[in-house]
Each structure stands twice: as C-alpha cells, then as structure tokens.
Amino acid sequence: MWKDFRAFIARGNIVDLAVAVVIGGAFGTIVKSFVDDIVMPPIGLLLGRVDFTNLFVVLKDGTKAPPPYATLADAQTAGAVTMNYGVFVSNVVAFVIVALVVFLAIKYSARLYAKPIAPADTKPCPMCAMPIPLAAKRCPHCTSQL
C-alpha cells in the first residue's frame, strides 16, 4: 500500500497540482493586499474619503457598548450583529482581478502550445515545381504527365 501511495504522489500531475495550489494561495494573498492597500484607497478617496472596510450596517446592537460604532472593529467588539458590505465590495474587486489574471494567463498560455500541422494536400510538380493536388495525373501548369 505504501508503494501505491508513493507512486500516486510521485506522478507529475499530482506534484504540479500541489505546486499550483501553493502558488495560488500566495497569489491570493498578493491580490488581497493589492486590492485592500492600493486599489480601494483611491476609490474610497474619489467617493468622499470612504474606507470600505468600515462600511457596514448594524442589524442588532451590541450588548457591551451602545451605538453608534465608528469602525467595524468597534461594532464587533461590542457584540453587534453587522452586515459588512464594504468588505464584500473589496472581495468582489479582488475576485474580478483574479478572474482577469486567470483569463489572461489561459489566453496567452494557449499561444505556447504548437498547433497541429495540417496534412499536405499538394505536392510539387517534378518538372516545373509548381504545387499540384496529390491526386493529379497531369500538371495543370506545364501539362507534364505524372
């Protein structure tokens, strides 16, 4: 059983999948930071100094502190039930960026694979070297018998 498991793990596609998962996780962290630290602050600034991480609606007040809550962390510390639509917007932007990168990677990786070569449907005439159909009995250019 150990041999079978080792053979399964050592197969190339399993190792490739493991590497892809690890790199995908690291890429997700980079995209999250890109969205939270670079993309969303200018968008929030354009929308009137809005911090998207602190956009929330209080569904039920907390028992530890009365509203209003200045930040999402304050509301959560007070035990309030909140709907965090700002975090959702940030996650949607992160998803769109990841989807765009995956789309571009697939689109451009398709160019790396060689396209199958179509079988030849012509051959050169032995007399005039012009291309003629494979089934031709006489060259249409020089009229030589093939």
Q: What letters, b where the CB count within 10 A reaches 16 and e where it falls short, cover 99-111? A: eeeeeeeeeeeee
Q: What is the pLDDT of residue 83?
A: 92
Please indicate, yes or no, whether the overall pTM of this predicted structure exceeds 0.85: no
- Element spanning 129, H or E: none
Q: 97 Cβ partners below 8 Å, 6+ apart?
A: 31, 34, 35, 39
- Is a pLDDT exceeding 70 seen at residue 143? yes
Q: 141 Cβ partners below 8 Å, 6+ apart?
A: 125, 128, 130, 132
For 53-66, the pLDDT digits (tens) are: 788 888 888 787 77
For 3-54, the pLDDT digits (tens) are: 887 777 777 677 778 888 898 888 888 888 888 888 888 888 887 877 777 8
